[in-house]
Structure 1
Amino acid sequence: MIVAYLLSALYIIGQLLPTALLLRFRRAGRGFESRYGTAPLSEEGISVLMPVKGPEANLAENIRALLGQDYQGKIELVLAFQEEKDADLAVADLIAAEYAGHPNRSVKILRGMATLGLNFKNSNLAQAASAATYDWLYCCDADTRVAPDHLRRAITLAQLHAYRGKTSFITSISVHENAGQPGAWLEAIGTNMEFANYFLLSHLSPKAGALNGASMFFHRETLDAIGGFRAYLNKITDDLAMQKAFVQAGALSILLPTLTRVSLRSQTFSGFYKRQLRWQLIVRCFDPITFYLLAPLNWAGQWLLFLAALSGSAKLATLGLAVLGVRLLRSFVFQIALGTPVRDWAKSICLPFYDFISPIIWLNTILVSQVQWAGAKLNVRRDGTLCAIRAVTNSYSEVTNASR
């Protein structure tokens, strides 16, 4: 019982710490302008790189959010379409026409990207970066919506560190909301709990902070110092692989106190399982300590209930239920603090199911080192390198951002 009480105490502390960090993160967001001002040191041009695979239900809204930024400098949006006849090209062409001749906003559309490696997203980003006009680069997924002040805040922090003689890469936390199917509910709950948890804890150190592939801001020189996107054409992910390289090159990881949002209206249970499996594979490859040691500790409630079932101990069962109750309460707190719609809060009741399926996904990740992409089944080596088993088509990945 002493071990059980100790495990429970450590677990509860582990739930309270990220909650405190999240509240501090939100407070930093509210006080950003009072600390850093309302304008960057210089309003330099920014190129936004967005790889696209349609149909994306919210593409027009997400593009307009980028072009409508509260930033007086120039913003160039580079849309990289894998397919020459992508379903969303009409949307892109329409918005590009709207901004034709705008003094500070422009849209560049790349069609039918060449396949440079097994990671199609990185292939598209490499070609988009080559076509970009400006040296400040922001990489954003097509399903991601940014706040009106996102780019202004990002370049403010980046320029401040550059002024101090430090290079940096800046990222943000993604929040999933408006989930419309059970699979999407699980995806949103898991992302809003575990993803936010992982980022908040990792960014306790500027040399360990994780990088979110859906929202990355850095200077071209910083990117070139790690070989550019072309160095990661055959990696399972761009973000965690690049994060390690950035840190080794001396760059600091900065967590922008501004959230990005993803409307996850449709997601099957199968899609949820595959995305979680890929995420666990990524963590196993690039952060093995978290995968092998910290992840199992996150299942304290399940362990206690399992031991209670074996021993018939009512005390262990009560303790296990109490631990799971604390986690459920934290889920509600996170949903509120992350600003998700009220209608999403009740979906936290799916958390117990998520918690009991997570160990199965974790075990699956240990036993099978493969991912399925459209038209290909790929092996994943220990260092995160992809190698083809079957023929690869020119199709985009089933999941545009494996790290979310």
Structure 2
Amino acid sequence: MNGSRKGIFFTNLRAPALVILLSAVVATTMTDIASPHVEHVLLDAIAVLFGAAASLGIIYTLLASLLVGRFFARSVNVPVQFPGVTVIKPLHGDEWQLSGHLESFFNQDYPGPVQYLFGVHDANDTALKRVEALRARFPDAAITIVADGRLYGPNRKIANLVNMLEYASHDILCFADSDVRVDSNYLRTVVGTLDDPGVGLVTTVYRGLCAPGFWPRVGAALTNYHFLPGVITGVAIGRARPCFGQTIALTRQTLDAIGGLRQFAHHLAEDHALGEAVRRIGKSVAIPPLIVQHACVEDTFADFFTHELRWSRTIRAADRSGHLGAVLMHPLPLAILAVAFSGGATAACLIAGAALLARALLVLCVDRAIHGRTRGLWNLPLCDMLQFAVYLASFGSSGVVWRGIRFSVDGNGMLSPVRDE
């Protein structure tokens, strides 16, 4: 869904996450009924479980630190020809730095024809003011605006895209969320990758672009240092099947072959479902060594937590076992729990120190790979604990809130609206 870090990746790593969580519950329950000796043994056992999980998480973190640099060091495919491309942008409201995000798609080093297709549900949507300003600034650009309120299910983004498609002029379709900013080589890289044999869809990883304020910085840190290395590691070890709404490029023929977009109108993770549909017809989903920027704008703790929780529940709804395995992405919180349950045992403290150093190394490696500026390392423990809290909370409910509407999500990742917020 637009405006959320919703793209799905799947580690499918098997970890004793459920055992760990259940053990913690059992420890709390047994406190009042167990003898001191039994209680001590139980707490030590739980500490060992958390320590073991943290140690595996450290190994994962070190592996991710290595792989993230390799991912972006790959060569970039450049197209030999430059066919026409329709850039499709669903809009809703005047978002933070919307003009800059949209303008980045106009400043492309791409010699082929490009159509810019913008869609809204309401002809009075304030985002259209930004589009009209761009039309004045780029008078030669092929800009098409579609205002159509038809819906085909609870996923309003899919409805917006379906309503726009009939106005697309070119056979290469590049869908990109409104809160995305790209470099000038974006279309060259995407089109070149799409031209590779067997590729049916191109998607891209992304980093956080934070609005002013503390909580946007935390949101960007979680994007850069949890989400991004998790995707890259999952792809490298063959356990990830990503497809992200920040970029979905495919041909009209491929879209027709999978049956069009309307079939995804009830999906929470419509981007993941679209990628899986392309794989089912025997084509691959390619991820070039290209990174785009995704706006992180939640400026209060409540907005931040709700946003992150929606993303985490989206992953859980799409792949429950993979979401359990993601516990290994949290070595520092696991190590801190090991310290707490062991009563500050030396071994647990050493694991916690190693986890902190491993996470700091990962931050440095990510920033070097994406040419980012490392700052705020002192916030790292807080960010990691917040991410772990979101992860645990995602097991508590299947509901999500998107643009003021609460949805329930069934076991197949399908949306049903509950009530207005």
* TM-score in same-fold range (> 0.5): yes
Cα distance in structure 2, aligned partners of 1:111 and 1:216:
22
Give deviations 1:85-131, integer Å, cap 9, x for gaps.
Answer: 1222122112224444x3xx311111243233211111111212222
Q: Distance in 2 between matches of 1:244 and 1:359?
A: 28
Residue 392 of structure 2, aligned match among 352, 358, 363: 363
- CA 1:202/1:97 → structure 2, altered by over 3 Å: closer, same or farther? same
Structure 1 counterpart of 2:407, one-letter code: L
- Give 3-state SS (helix, strand or coil) of 2:82's partner: coil
Distance 1:2-1:118 versus aligned 2 partners, 3 A rule: closer
Aligned counterparts of 1:319 and 1:205: Cα–Cα separation in 2: 25
Please give the residue correspondences for 1:292-371 in structure 2 after superposition, counting only pairs within 5 Å.
Answer: 292=324, 294-312=325-343, 313-340=345-372, 342=373, 345-371=374-400
* Structure 1: distance between partners of 2:277 and 2:162: 16
User: d(CA) in 2 for partners of 1:5 and 1:133?
Assistant: 57
- Which residue of structure 2 lines up, in the alignment, with residue 21 of structure 1? 67
Equivalent residue in structure 2 for 1:131, among 148, 151, 167: 167
- Amino acid aligned to 2:307: R
2:419 to 371, 390, 394: 390
Q: Which amino acid aligns with 1:275?
A: H
Q: Deviations over 1:35-65 (max 9, x none)?
A: x45xx23221100110111212322222222
- Structure 1 residue 133 displacement after superposition: 1.1
Aligned length, in residue pairs: 374
Query: Which AA in structure 1 matches 2:315?
Result: V
SS in 1 for 2:150: coil
Deviation at 1:206, TM superposition (A): 7.6
* Match status 1:69 vs 2:108: yes
Distance change >3 Å, CA 266–CA 311, structure 1 → 2? closer
* Larger CA Rg, structure 1 vs 2: 2
Any idea what SS the aligned residue of 2:401 has? strand
Question: C-alpha deviations, 1:6-56, integer Å up to 9, x for none?
Answer: 54553232112222222112212xx42xxx45xx23221100110111212
User: Residue 65 of structure 2 contacts residue 361 of structure 2 at CA under 8 Å; is this kept in 1?
Assistant: no
Q: The residue matched to 1:13 in structure 2 has which SS? A: helix
**Structure 1: distance between partners of 2:152 and 2:83:** 30
Given the superposition, is the C-alpha separation of residues 235 and 16 from structure 1 closer, same or farther in structure 2, using an over 3 Å criterion?
same
Inter-CA distance 259–387: structure 2 relative to 1 (3 Å threshold): same
Give the Cα separation in 2 of the matches to 1:4 and 1:84.
54
Q: Which residue of 2 aligns with 1:280?
A: 312
Tell which deviates more after alignment, 357-366 or 279-288: 357-366
Question: How many Å separate the matches in 2 of 1:195 and 1:317?
Answer: 26
List gaps (5 residues or longer) in structure 2: 1-46
Give me the whole-angstrom Cα distance separating, in 1, the residues matched to 2:273 and 2:104.
28
Q: Distance in 2 between matches of 1:79 and 1:301?
A: 43
Counterpart AA for 1:248: R
Are 2:92 and 1:53 equivalent residues in the alignment? yes
Which of 237, 243, 247 pairs up with 2:279?
A: 247
Structure 2 residue 131 is matched with structure 1 residue 92: yes
Counterparts of 2:173 and 2:238, CA distance in 1? 20
Q: Is the 8 A contact 1:77 1:106 kept in 2?
A: yes
Asked if 1:268 is matched to 2:268, the reply is no
Of 199, 202, 211 in structure 1, the residue corresponding to residue 231 of structure 2 is: 199
CA distance in 1, matches of 2:219, 2:105: 25
What is the rounded CA distance, in whole Å, between the counterparts of 1:391 and 1:56 in structure 2?
Answer: 21
SS of residue in 2 equivalent to 1:318: helix
Gaps in structure 1 of 5+ consecutive residues: 393-404
Q: 2:147 matched to which residue of 1?
A: 111
1 or 2 for the larger relative contact order (CA 8 Å, sep ≥6)? 2
Q: Which amino acid aligns with 1:12?
A: I
How has the CA–CA distance of structure 1 residues 86 and 24 changed in structure 2, closer, same or farther, with 3 Å as cutoff? Answer: same
**C-alpha separation between the residues in 2 aligned to 1:206 and 1:121?**
30
Give the direction of change, closer, same or farther, for the CA distance of 1:385–1:27 in structure 2 (3 Å limit). Answer: same
Amino acid at match of 1:141: D
CA contact (8 A) 1:80 1:113 kept: no
Q: What's the CA shift string for 1:308-366, capped at 9, x where partnerless?
A: 222221321232232123113312331332223x3xx3234323122223333223222
Q: Tell me: CA distance 1:333–1:95, structure 2 relative to 1, closer, same or farther (3 Å).
A: same
Relative to structure 1, the CA distance from residue 202 to residue 299 in structure 2 (aligned partners, 3 Å threshold; closer, same or farther) is closer
Identity %: 24
Letter in 2 for 1:55: D
CA separation of 1:351 and 1:223: change in aligned 2, threshold 3 A:
farther
Q: Given residue 182 of structure 2, which amino acid in structure 1 is its aligned partner?
A: V
1:212 aligns with 2:244: yes
CA distance, structure 2, for counterparts of residue 254 and residue 182 of structure 1: 34
For 2:235 and 2:378, how far apart are their aligned partners in 1? 28
2:209 corresponds to 1:177: yes
Kept in 1, the 8 Å contact 2:87–2:175? The answer is yes
Question: Which amino acid counterpart does residue 196 of structure 1 have in structure 2?
Answer: L
Mapped contact 1:332–1:348 kept (Cα < 8 A): no
Structure 2 contact 50–334 (Cα < 8 Å) conserved: no
CA distance in 2, matches of 1:4, 1:385: 34
